[in-house]
Amino acid sequence: MHAPNDCSADLHGQDTDLWIIGVLFPHLKMRRFIDVGAEKGGFAKALFRMGFERGVLCEPLPAHVQELGRRFAAPHATILPYAIDREDRTTHFHVACDAAGNDLDYFHSLNRVPDHDYFRHGRHLDVRCRSLASLLDSGEVDADIGLLKIDTEGNDLRVLQGLGPLRPELIMCEFVPPAVYPDWPLSFAENLLAEASRLGYRHVIAIQRTHGIAGEWVRIDPDGFTANDWGNLVLIREDVFAAAATDLQSRVRGHADRFHGEQPIPMRHDPRYGAACADWLQHQVEGFSRASDRSVAIDVGAHEGVFFQPLLEANLVSRLVLFEPQPANAARLRERCVDPRVTVEEVAVAATTGSAEFLFGDDTATGSLLQPMGPTPAATQACPVPTTSLDDYAIAHGLLDKVNVLKIDTQGTDAAVLRGAERLLRESQPLLVVELIFAPLYERQGDPAALILWLAERGYRLAGFFDEHFSREGWLAWTDACFVPVARLPGYRPPFVLRGAYE
C-alpha cells in the first residue's frame, strides 16, 4: 500500500487517490483492473505493485500505446488501443499540445475544447472507440473486475454509460471544475454521481482539490462540490463498502488529521522567554487543522484565559473550555469571556472525578491541589472544589473525539490530569502543551521524565520546549513542553536549523 506522501513522478499528483485504493484493496475479491486512459502506465504500474494480478490498459494515443508495450507484458497486462466510449464508433481524438505546439502527455480527449490557458487541441487523430459492454461481449475484458479506473479528460460519463452489465467492485473516475473546464460537462461531479446512482453505486469517496487553493480533502459520501472543485471519485459497490466502512472511516479521518503545513514557522522573539510558544502553537494548529466540529480546545488551569485567545480569534478553534478552580480567577473569566464559543468551568481537573481541597495565596497563578514548598508563595487560603477527569468530562459533553489541542498547567499535578485523560488522548489525539516542573516547588509534584515517558508510551513525541525558566545556577526550573501525536506526523523535513533562525 502506498501512503499519501510516497509521491511517484508519473502519478500526476494522484498519490492520495492511490492510497485510498490501497485502503480498500484488502476488501476486494477481484484482483483484476481496467485502466481507461492509461497514458504511459504510471497508475497501472502502481496497481500491479499494490497486488493486482492482471490489468487491461486502454489507450488510443499511438505514442502512449508504444510506451505501454515497452513497460508491460502479457499475460499480466493486456493493452487495447481503443478510446473507451458509450458505444462502438470511429471518431476524432483531439491531441493536446502546449503553446509551442509540443505534444503533452495528457489533456488528449474525444471532446475538443477551445484553446485553454493550459493547453490547446492543435490536431486530431481518427481512433476506434469501444464500449466496455462491447469489450465484455467480445471477451476482451472479464466480468470479474476489482477496479475500473477512468481518466478520459472530459468523457468519463460516457464510459460509465457504456458499462452494460459490468459492475466493478470499485470505479475511480475523474471530475473536473466547471469554472475551469466548462466545455467538459461529461466529467462534472454531479453528472457522474447521478449516473453512479443509476448504476447502483450508493457510496463514494471524493479525493477533492480546489482550483487556486493548495491542499486536498478526502470525503466519504460528500454533500456537494463547488464550481472550482476537481479530483477523483471512487465509487464503491455496496458489498465492498459494508466490509470496509469501519476501516475506511478510521483511515480517512487519520489522513485528514495529519500535519499539512508547508511554510517555515514565523516566530517572534520574546525578550524574556526566547521563541514565543504562541507563534509555534498557532503554526501547529494551522498545520493540524480539522473540521470545525473536531476543533475544540481545552485549557486546564486557565488562570486569565488568554492562552488560546489568538487561536479563537483566528477561528482555528471552534470551541474553548476553560477550567479554573480558583474562585476569584473563575469569576473574572466569566465576566471577561462573553464569546458564546467559550465555556468556563469552575472545577479542578484531576485523575478522577470527586472533590478535593484547592490551596492558593496572593499570587493568583500558583494555586494547586498540592501544598507549595520552597520558593513557591505560601498558600493562605483553602477551599473545597469539585474535581473531574478529562475523560469523564469529555464523555458527558460529547467531546471524546473532538479535542484538537489541550493545554495543562496545574502547578505540579499535570501528570495526574493526563492519567485521567487516556481515552481522550487516544480518541482525539490532540496537540499537547504541558508544564514540566523540574525545581522542587510543590509537595508530591509530578516527575517530568516520567511524564515524558508516559506520553511516549501512548504515541506522543516531544516537539519543543518554550518559556523556559532557569534558577540562579542556570538550571532548568520549569518550562512549557509541547507534544505531538506520532500518528498525525507526516515525517520530518529538512532543512534542520537552530531555533534562533526562526526568531
Q: What is the pLDDT of residue 272?
A: 47
- Could you report the per-residue pLDDT of 142-191, keeping only the tens digit for each? 999 999 999 999 999 999 999 999 999 999 999 999 999 999 999 999 99
pLDDT score of 2 more than 70: no
Q: How far is 245 from 222, CA to CA, in rounded Å?
A: 15
For residue 448, which phi and psi values (nearest 5 degrees)? Answer: -60, -40
- Could you tell me the domains of the chain? 9-85+141-257 (3.40.50.150), 269-502 (3.40.50.150)
**pLDDT tens track for 267-292:** 454 554 445 677 788 888 888 888 88
Q: In the predicted model, is pLDDT for residue 3 greater than 60?
A: no
Q: How far apart are CA 275 and CA 464, in angstroms?
A: 10
Query: What contacts 10, CB < 8 A, 6 or more positions away?
Result: 40, 41, 42, 45
Would you state the pLDDT for residue 8?
A: 44
Q: How confident is the model at residue 404 (pLDDT cuts 50, 70, 90)?
A: very high
CB-facing half-sphere around the CA of 343: CA atoms within 13 A = 13
3-state secondary structure of 315: coil
pLDDT higher at 192 or 496: 192
Residue 94 pLDDT more than 50?
A: yes
Alpha helices in 304-443, H assignment, sequence order: 309-313, 327-336, 390-396, 414-419, 422-428
Q: What is the pLDDT of residues 338-374, one digit of tens each?
A: 999 999 999 999 999 999 999 999 888 899 999 999 8
Give the model confidence (pLDDT) of 31-71 as tens digits: 999 999 999 999 999 999 999 999 999 999 999 999 999 99
Q: Is the pLDDT of residue 333 over 80?
A: yes
- Quick one: pLDDT at residue 322? 97
